[in-house]
Amino acid sequence: MGYACPVCETPQRDGEHLANHLAFTAMLHGDAHERWLDDHAPDWSEQGAAELAPVAVDHAEEVPHETVFEDTTDDHAHDAPSTASVETEALDPATLDGDASRILAEAREMTQAMLDAGDDTEDDTAADDTEDDTAADDTEDDTAADDTAADDNKA
- Based on the fold, state whether residues 57 and 101 are members of the same structural domain: no
Residue 130 buriedness (CB in 10 A; 0-12 / 13-18 / 19+): exposed
Q: Examine residue 99 and state whether it is found in any structural domain, yes or no.
A: yes
The whole-angstrom separation of Cα 72 and Cα 58 is 32
Range of the structural domain that residue 121 is part of: 86-155
Q: Examine residue 79 and state whether it is found in any structural domain, yes or no.
A: no
Per-residue pLDDT tens digits for 60-98: 999 987 765 544 444 545 454 454 544 545 566 677 788
Q: Examine residue 78 and state whether it is found in any structural domain, yes or no.
A: no
- Based on the fold, state whether residues 64 and 8 are members of the same structural domain: yes
Q: Examine residue 9 and state whether it is found in any structural domain, yes or no.
A: yes
Q: What angle do CA 47, 53, 56 make, to 5 degrees?
A: 105
For the chain, how many structural domains are there in total? 2
- Predicted TM-score (pTM) of the model is 0.45
- Based on the fold, state whether residues 54 and 100 are members of the same structural domain: no
Q: Higher pLDDT residue, 136 or 93?
A: 93
